[in-house]
Amino acid sequence: MAAFIVRMGPLLVLWLAVFLSGTWAVDRGNFKTCDQSAFCKRQRALKPGQSPYRALLETLELTNTKLTLQLINDNNKVRLLLELYRLQGNMTRVKINELKPLKPRFEVPDVLINDPPTEPLSLLSQDENGVVLSLGADSQWLIVSAKPFRLDIMEGREVLLSLNSRGLLAFEHLRIRKDTISYKIKNKVYSAWENIKWVFSSQVDPEGAEKKEETDAANEPAEGETAKEDGMWEETFKSHTDNKPNGPSSISLDFSLPGVEHVYGIPEHADSLKLKTTDGGDPYRLFNLDVFQYELFNPMALYGAIPVMLSHSAQRTMGIFWLNAAETWVDISSNTAGKVRHTHTHTHLVNMEGYNYVQGSSETPQTDVRWISESGIIDVFIMLGPTPTDVFSQYASLTGTQAFPPLSALAYHQCRWNYNDQEDVAAVDQGFDEHDIPYDFIWLDIEHTDGKRYFTWDPHKFPQPKDMLQGLMDKRRKMVTIVDPHIKVDSSYKIHNEIRSKGFYVKNKDGGDYEGWCWPGNSGYPDFTNPEMRAWWASMFAYDQYAGSMENMYTWNDMNEPSVFNGPEVTMHKDALHGNWENRDLHNLYGLYVQMATAEGLIERSGGVERPFVLTRAFFAGSQRYGAVWTGDNTAEWEHLKISIPMCLSLGLVGVSFCGADVGGFFKSPSTELLVRWYQTGAYQPFFRAHAHLDTPRREPWLFGPENTALIREAVRQRYALLPYWYQLFYHAHHSGQPVMRPLWVEYPQDTATFSMDDQFLLGRDLLVHPVTEEGGRGVTAYLPGKGEVWFDVHTFQKHNGAQNLYIPVTISSIPVFQRGGSIIPRKARVRRSSSCMEHDPYTLFVALSPKRFAQGELYIDDGHTFNFDKQKQFIHRRLSFANKALSSRNLAPGSQFITPSWIEKIVILGASKPSKATLKTPDGKENLLEFEFDASMSVLTLRKPGVNAGVDWTVVLQ
Amino acid sequence: MSCALLLLLTSLALAMGTGAAVEIQRPRGVPQSKRQFYEENKPFTCLDGSSTIPFDRVNDDYCDCRDGSDEPGTAACPNGSFHCSNAGFRPAFIPSSRINDGICDCCDTTDEYNSGATCQNTCREMGRKERESLQIMAEITKEGFLLKQQLIHEAKRGQEDKQVKGSGGKVEALRTVKETAEDPEKGAKERHLKSWEEQKELIRMEKDKTRMAEAFLELDDDSDGYVSVAELQSHLELDPDSDGSLTETETQGLLGGEGKVDTSTFETVWSIIKDQYLSEGLLDPPAPVETPQEEQSRDFVSDHDSDHYPEDYAGEEEDVEDDEEDDHEEEEEKVPPTVQTPEKRGDDELSMPPYDTETQSLIDAAQKARDDFDEAERALREVDNQMKNLEKEIGFDFGPSAEFAYLYSQCYELSTSEYIYRLCPFNRVSQKPKFGGSETNLGLWGQWAGPEDNLYSMMKYDHGQGCWQGPNRSTTVKLTCGKETVVTSTSEPSRCEYLMEFTTPAVCQEPASLDEVLHGHTEL
């Protein structure tokens, strides 16, 4: 331990002493509650139903692409500019900014993949109460009500969603500081009145209102002495003071969702899939933080933030994308949750020519959501669905899709803080072969570097990194090394010197390089928001720059919230400067940029040929484009195993499919049973990596006796056999934004029984997984959805009816997984020591027949690691379908071409009847009889060795 | 029909470039020992008997047998294994999944016949290397084993030695000699003492008479041959009620009621007063010094006691490891400073005259016997201590033939770039930073921890210094055969769990003949 402490430096020890002192749980006192975050407290103090905002209909302008309209705050006469866009693909964008801000407010760049294409809006009617616009599709209207300002999106006579229906639109305009002496002298007259005034107060004082009429928006009334108390110009948390030269700048808007009882998304939180109401507690917080030993089932912020919420009912799925990268809080309330009625009324009547509607009658369930952000503008995308698939496509059209990972990245990863040296790496590699357990990646955490100087190697422990990498390459395996964004301040460190000399570091409020403490001790933080910085960073991954790197070495970005051990809430000071912008404005974007620059570096080093693989801890909307995400530093406890399911499901719903949790749990040491169960669960989650804390005993899979080694081996082998299906799911995620790991309701949107389920999940639509996550579990009750559908146990081939709760007795070797009747899943039965070794192996097709004796599936094949699938259309994508007693393979992508040596080894048809013969027809017109076996007890037909190449057309006819 | 179909299939597979067809002369991947089960052109029965298939389905790249026995030479069966003969080296079985996986596993390259991997046949080279290293190992083992025999021998002799020393027979013999010699000595000494006591009594009487005569003369101030009341009254020390004055009546009482006594009557008076009587030359009363002196010494003792307690207390708080040293210090401190109590040496103290020669010779003989006995007893105590240590030692398992006994109370060090590691077998393992800093206990002797069939191949030291937020440090020591006893490496594979490699002749096994080693497993 002494050595450990020496390695970390004295200040860190202090930090650890403070953070770790005796407890195995998060120190909540290190993180703000809404009450401790001045803007959240101010905003949350607002009461609904008193909106001071009015639409100035006379300012309405409608062009081909957008509608603009001014809003006025009747209390302070500050004008806002509303922009409304109808976007292609059934989306509406609402942007609200100050009409004339003192200086520009931050608008989030680099998250949208393009300027979203618009569709024309048309004006249907207008009167003094408001405006009705046609949204084009499906008789959808948008109603703009003038006083108070409000937006309603309708379909027919049904309200889909309302904005500012509760009057919680609140826009703290930028202002000149009022409590300075010069200002006080200038504004003496008004000071007494202003002292008691709220920024966006709805307490209308007739006298004050008159006075305010006289002032103009640019020369705004003062807040006076109360400002300090409200934390508008300065705020202190623990020992940290946040100077706010720009003053208050927060924004808020409420959304009402009639008919909705279920909302999801807004990761990252260690909470259930279905979001809870936040009445009486803190709102869900979105603020990228390094939370030491996070607690479960609460709305505290974690490492990443994706401000996207999905709403779902049996009728419709929608999404709200709040494009803001500042600290954000989300309040959720419901008129049905706990049957507590809200005091304010939901009834709203607009009576305009031809458009009468009533919303929010007391019988209708309704969910109300309120977003609060510290700065920036309101820029919200309303994704109108109506199906879950539509919402995924809509969101993907805005922020892009999941990066298509190299196939091997979907295989098993072996990680530990730390593999000590080259010999250790070689021994672990050898251990996997000795115990015949496949793996593709071995990982090196921070200790592999020379004194936590990233891009370097410890000269004693890793003197010959290329030898080590070559050794792995000889086994067709790979490595990941960690590259964190904090850079050791050390004049003998090339990376530091270059960043400093190029002025690429984030600056502190006084203009000097911002410095904070992290693993290496005193560290600088490169300004990844600067494209030049990112280009330079990317260039550091070139083989001639990153000494000791090779093409089978990939990257892990940790601590990129960023983590600053001695910063407020263990992160960067909000008044730190990224160019002209404060960290306050873009905090949640930092991690995305780190991963973006790193992924770009890996692409560039291969001349744009190879797909990158980068794991990140911090993320934002759009991070899916750059690689994988994991749920950070979890704990070896059963509850943490369970929470891995809703955490990854939530991420999948908002674009990030490549998600996983540390198998075994990072902190503490898992019991053998927990470790085995975690392998079994992790084998069926997208990112499958075992990881462990430095202080925990070793836990390579073979260290727990032969029985447990066998159990873990079997779980890992199941993963490898299923890699063709995983790869195909990721192709789809990349292609169309559909999540890989899905809540059941995504595929069964009308089955209300599924809406809150998060102890089981679907992979694609065809595999249902209910891992055993209970200690000493003797059985699980899985819900098999779909009335009239059937599901097949993938291990026993036993058939079960859909729409039932099925009790499954389990043993320690059980991983309950079911294949949907009506699907075809390709596998590779020859599991080898790495996925690369299996590249040319033949396929086994598992055809699970529906009750109507139908099934459909796909087969996707490419080289597994380059962009040629995209740039040169080098891939095979085939439709496999079984109908009318014939199974056929047809080309789904006629423009593509790829040659594979892989062939069809075996076809297993579940729920089949015994044919008299089976004939294989190939494109050359040949017909061959296939031998088969039929298991009457399970109705399983196995066709022996069709032998046909996986890339060609063929048909098997059963007679 | 079926045959034709298979042919068709095979040709189809070939046409598709699958490499499914394998030219079989002798079934690929079958070890010599199982060759008999793979008889060409006869139906093949899976080795588990589960089914029988046409022979052309052996190694046809499709798994027909549950036990994988039909595909010894392809990767088709998930549970199969492939035999490489590795001519020139050792034959081996590898999992079927390693056939044609692009990685050369068999040194004879036979596992990669269709993967495009370019493998070199390295069997001869590997065989040569193995033979070389086996040879070296065999030499080490041979020498090591000899050393081990020596160690066993030494351990045995050591034990015998200790047993002889510890027999106690010599002490008993000496005790008899001593006691035999002591008997006459005792008699002679007693006789001598008795006559000396008689003599002493005579001398005392003589001396008393002399003192009485002197006192009479001294008291008879007027030299009238009588001691009168007045003459005696000046001797206040004789005051029977100690009230400071000797009255006439009191004095008269001392003189037996007479007014004066003559020399013969004085004898009786003398016998009463002689103990109190002070010669007139010393008549000044002595200073009362004894009482304060006693008080002083009591005070000193109590001071010392009160001083000592806190020291004891402080001692307990100190690190256990330092206890031994502390004990010595304390023992010294515990001895109180000698208090000088003045010993009254009476003037009348007489020294005994030397023994007569006969007695003296008896005494000398006895003294010799006593000295011999004492020496023997001291030796016995020493042996007893040794026995106690030995018992402690015997508590250790020094291996089947005590071959590890030589490691006891030894320490071995290894210096790395950062630390000096120290292994004291059967005691403790520690680590000390090279450039300053305190020593860390990496574990105390726990037990032998090798696998069941080789228990003495590993030692476990545990309950070392606790780790911050972690377990106590522990060390596993792996023992391998070597000519020298030396720590060869240390590592910390898991936080606070250390691994040490240690060579010693004590684990060397009886070497098989080199021929056996080199050719034992070779199969062609």
Q: What is the pLDDT of residues A619-636, one digit of tens each?
A: 999 999 999 999 999 999
User: Rounded to the nearest 10 degrees, how much is the dihedral formed by the CA atoms of A219, A223, A228, A231?
Assistant: -80
| A282 labelled catalytic | no
Chain A nearest CA to B22, separation (Å) = 14
Q: Is 60 exceeded by the pLDDT of residue A338?
A: no
| A633 labelled catalytic | yes
User: Which pair of tokens denotes residue A278?
Assistant: 């936040």
Q: How far is CA B218 from the centre of its chain?
A: 77
Query: At CA A403, angle to CA A841 and CA A950, rounded to 5?
Result: 25
Q: How far apart are CA B236 and CA B215, in angstroms?
A: 15
Chain A hits for B493, CB-CB cut-off 8 Å, are 420, 424, 698
CA closest to A697 among chain B residues: B494
User: Where does residue A81 rank: exposed (0-12), middle (13-18), buried (19+ CB within 10 A)?
Assistant: middle
Instruction: Verify whether the Cβ–Cβ distance B102 to A420 is below 8 Å.
Output: no
Predicted pLDDT at B301:
38
Q: Is 50 exceeded by the pLDDT of residue A100?
A: yes
Q: Is 60 exceeded by the pLDDT of residue B155?
A: yes
- Residue from the list B16, B75, B78 with its beta carbon closest to the beta carbon of A903: B16
Q: Is 70 exceeded by the pLDDT of residue B503?
A: yes
Closest CA to A597 of A528, A527, A526: A528
Q: Greatest CA separation found in chain B?
A: 171
A·B CB contacts under 8 A: 101
Instruction: Verify whether the Cβ–Cβ distance B95 to A475 is below 8 Å.
Output: no
pLDDT grade, residue B516 (50/70/90)?
A: low
Chain A hits for B76, CB-CB cut-off 8 Å, are 830, 905
Any idea which residue has 């009486």 for tokens?
A280
> b/e per residue, B136-172, with b = 16+ CB within 10 A?
ebbebbbbbbebbeebbeebeeebeebeebeeeeebe
- Residue from the list B12, B13, B103 with its beta carbon closest to the beta carbon of A474: B103
Chain B hits for A901, CB-CB cut-off 8 Å, are 17-19
pLDDT grade, residue B211 (50/70/90)?
A: confident
Predicted pLDDT at B9:
36
Q: How far apart are CA A264 and CA A649, in angstroms?
A: 9
- Residue from the list A2, A695, A697 with its beta carbon closest to the beta carbon of B440: A2
Q: How far apart are CA B503 and CA B481, in angstroms?
A: 5
A182 or A464: which carries more pLDDT confidence? A464
Predicted pLDDT at A228:
53
A19 or B45: which carries more pLDDT confidence? B45
Q: Which of A713, A836, A840, A945 to mutate against chain B (most B CBs within 10 Å)?
A: A945
Q: What is the pLDDT of residues A104-129, one digit of tens each?
A: 999 999 999 999 999 999 999 999 99
Q: How far apart are CA A616 and CA A631, in angstroms?
A: 9
Q: What is the pLDDT of residues B409-466, one digit of tens each?
A: 899 999 988 899 999 999 999 999 988 889 999 999 999 999 999 999 999 999 999 8
Q: How far apart are CA A92 and CA A136, in angstroms?
A: 11
Predicted pLDDT at B164:
58
Least confident of A245-254, A342-351, A693-702: A342-351
> Average pLDDT, whole number, for chain A?
91
Chain A hits for B5, CB-CB cut-off 8 Å, are 928-929
Predicted pLDDT at B325:
41
User: Which pair of tokens denotes residue A489?
Assistant: 């301040």
- Residue from the list A5, A474, A928 with its beta carbon closest to the beta carbon of B5: A928
Q: What is the pLDDT of residues B255-267, one digit of tens each?
A: 777 777 887 777 7
Helix axes A531-539, A494-501, angle to 10 degrees: 160
CA closest to B440 among chain A residues: A2
Residue B215 phi, psi (nearest 5) = -65, -40
Chain B nearest CA to A928, separation (Å) = 7
- Residue from the list B9, B12, B495 with its beta carbon closest to the beta carbon of A695: B495
Least confident of A130-144, B280-294, B330-344: B330-344
Q: How far apart are CA B18 and CA B167, in angstroms?
A: 84
DSSP string, A769-804: E----STT--EEEEEE--TT-EEEETTT--EEESSE
Q: Is 80 exceeded by the pLDDT of residue A910?
A: yes
Give, in order, the Cα–Cα distances in Å from A496 to each of A449, A505, A517, A600, B150: 15, 9, 15, 20, 62
Chain A nearest CA to B415, separation (Å) = 15
Predicted pLDDT at A460:
92
Chain B hits for A944, CB-CB cut-off 8 Å, are 62
CA closest to B76 among chain A residues: A830
Any idea which residue has 């490496």 for tokens?
B489
Residue B190's Cβ-side half-sphere holds a number of Cα atoms within 13 Å equal to 6
Chain A nearest CA to B32, separation (Å) = 24
Give, in order, the Cα–Cα distances in Å from A407 to each of A656, A723, B276, B470: 17, 8, 120, 38
Closest CA to A828 of A815, A841, A818, A817: A841
Number of neighbouring beta carbons within 10 Å of residue A644: 26
- Mean pLDDT for the stretch of residues A568-574: 97
Question: Percent of chain A scored above 70 by pLDDT?
Answer: 89
Q: What is the pLDDT of residues A382-429, one digit of tens each?
A: 999 999 999 999 999 999 999 999 999 999 999 999 999 999 999 999
Give, in order, the Cα–Cα distances in Å from B474 to each of A692, A701, B470: 19, 21, 12
- Mean pLDDT for the stretch of residues B137-156: 89
Give, in order, the Cα–Cα distances in Å from A66 to each of A116, A171, A511: 12, 22, 40
Q: How far apart are CA B424 and CA B413, in angstroms?
A: 9
Cβ pair A451, A462 in contact under 8 A:
no
DSSP string, B66-117: TTSTT-TTSS--TT-EEEE--TTS--EEEEGGGTTSSS--STTSTT-SSS--
pLDDT grade, residue A767 (50/70/90)?
A: very high
Chain A nearest CA to B75, separation (Å) = 7
Beta bridge partners of A55: A71
Cβ pair B71, B18 in contact under 8 A:
no
Chain B hits for A475, CB-CB cut-off 8 Å, are 103
Beta strands in B156-247 (DSSP E): 227-228
Predicted pLDDT at B214:
81
- Residue from the list A424, A460, A945 with its beta carbon closest to the beta carbon of B9: A945
* R_g over Cα of chain A: 29
Residue A98's SS3 state is strand
Cβ pair A1, B467 in contact under 8 A:
yes
Q: What is the pLDDT of residues A195-242, one digit of tens each?
A: 444 444 444 444 444 444 444 444 444 444 454 568 899 999 999 999
What ipTM was reported for this prediction?
0.89
A8 or B457: which carries more pLDDT confidence? B457
- Residue from the list B9, B98, B471 with its beta carbon closest to the beta carbon of A947: B9
Closest CA to A729 of A401, A265, A266, A390: A401
Highest mean pLDDT out of A74-78, A177-181, B129-133: A74-78
Chain A hits for B13, CB-CB cut-off 8 Å, are 903, 947
Highest mean pLDDT out of A233-242, A587-596, B276-285: A587-596
- Mean pLDDT for the stretch of residues B109-134: 93
Predicted pLDDT at B321:
42
Chain B nearest CA to A2, separation (Å) = 9
**pTM here?**
0.80
Q: Which amino acid does the sequence have at A353?
A: E
Taking 3-state DSSP, the helix, strand and coil percentages for chain B, each rounded to the nearest 5, stand at 50, 15, 40
User: Where does residue A889 rank: exposed (0-12), middle (13-18), buried (19+ CB within 10 A)?
Assistant: buried
Which residues have a Cβ under 8 Å from the Cβ of B384 and sit 6 or more positions away?
Answer: B166
User: Which pair of tokens denotes residue A334?
Assistant: 């419901």
- The active-site residue out of A633, A662, A751, A766 is A633
Q: What is the pLDDT of residues A460-478, one digit of tens each?
A: 999 999 999 999 999 999 9
Chain B nearest CA to A104, separation (Å) = 50
Chain B hits for A447, CB-CB cut-off 8 Å, are none
DSSP string, B474-511: EEEEEEEE-SS-EEEEEEEEETTEEEEEEEEGGGPPPP
Q: What is the pLDDT of residues A477-500, one digit of tens each?
A: 999 999 999 999 999 999 999 999
Among chain B, residues having any CB pair with chain A shorter than 8 Å are 2, 5, 8-9, 12-13, 16-20, 60, 62, 75-76, 78, 95, 97-98, 101-103, 417-418, 433, 437, 440, 467-471, 491-497
User: Which pair of tokens denotes residue A223?
Assistant: 């807040």
Q: What is the pLDDT of residues A520-538, one digit of tens each?
A: 999 999 999 999 999 999 9
Among chain A, residues having any CB pair with chain B shorter than 8 Å are 1-5, 20, 420, 423-424, 436, 460, 474-476, 694-698, 829-833, 836-838, 841-842, 901, 903, 905-906, 922, 926, 928-929, 931, 944-945, 947-949, 952
Q: How far apart are CA A94 and CA A444, in angstroms?
A: 45
Closest CA to A245 of A489, A24, A509: A509
Predicted pLDDT at B273:
79
My answer on whether omega of the bond before A283 falls inside 30° of 0, hence cis, is: no
A218 or A955: which carries more pLDDT confidence? A955
Q: Is 60 exceeded by the pLDDT of residue B158?
A: yes
Q: What is the pLDDT of residues B232-248, one digit of tens each?
A: 777 777 777 777 677 77
Query: At CA B265, angle to CA B262 and CA B267, rounded to 5?
Result: 110
Q: How far apart are CA A83 and CA A890, in angstroms?
A: 47
- Mean pLDDT for the stretch of residues A550-571: 98
* R_g over Cα of chain B: 50
Instruction: Verify whether the Cβ–Cβ distance A436 to B97 is below 8 Å.
Output: yes
pLDDT grade, residue A182 (50/70/90)?
A: low
Chain A hits for B98, CB-CB cut-off 8 Å, are 832-833
Cβ pair B446, B462 in contact under 8 A:
yes
Predicted pLDDT at A346:
38
- The active-site residue out of A271, A290, A558, A575 is A558
Q: Which helix (H) or strand (E) holds B294?
A: helix B290-317
Instruction: Verify whether the Cβ–Cβ distance A837 to B491 is below 8 Å.
Output: no
User: Which pair of tokens denotes residue A113?
Assistant: 């993949």
Residue A819's SS3 state is strand
Predicted pLDDT at B390:
64
Closest CA to A673 of A633, A641, A720, A717: A641
Q: How far apart are CA B196 and CA A356, in angstroms?
A: 144
Predicted pLDDT at A430:
98
Chain A hits for B20, CB-CB cut-off 8 Å, are 903, 945, 947
- Residue from the list B2, B5, B78 with its beta carbon closest to the beta carbon of A831: B78
Cβ pair A80, A96 in contact under 8 A:
yes
pLDDT grade, residue A138 (50/70/90)?
A: low
Instruction: Verify whether the Cβ–Cβ distance A929 to B418 is below 8 Å.
Output: no
Predicted pLDDT at A187:
54
Closest CA to B523 of B24, B35, B27, B22: B35
Q: Which of B112, B468, B498, B501 to mutate against chain A (most A CBs within 10 Å)?
A: B468
Q: Is 90 exceeded by the pLDDT of residue A801?
A: yes
- Mean pLDDT for the stretch of residues A737-751: 98
Highest mean pLDDT out of A593-597, B31-35, B136-140, B243-247: A593-597
CA closest to A420 among chain B residues: B493
Instruction: Verify whether the Cβ–Cβ distance A903 to B18 is below 8 Å.
Output: yes
User: Where does residue B184 rank: exposed (0-12), middle (13-18), buried (19+ CB within 10 A)?
Assistant: middle
pLDDT grade, residue A181 (50/70/90)?
A: low
Instruction: Verify whether the Cβ–Cβ distance A836 to B102 is below 8 Å.
Output: yes
Q: Are strands B52-53 and B44-45 parallel, antiparallel or unpaired?
A: antiparallel
- Mean pLDDT for the stretch of residues A354-360: 44
A25 or A567: which carries more pLDDT confidence? A567
Cβ pair A97, A105 in contact under 8 A:
yes
pLDDT grade, residue B167 (50/70/90)?
A: low
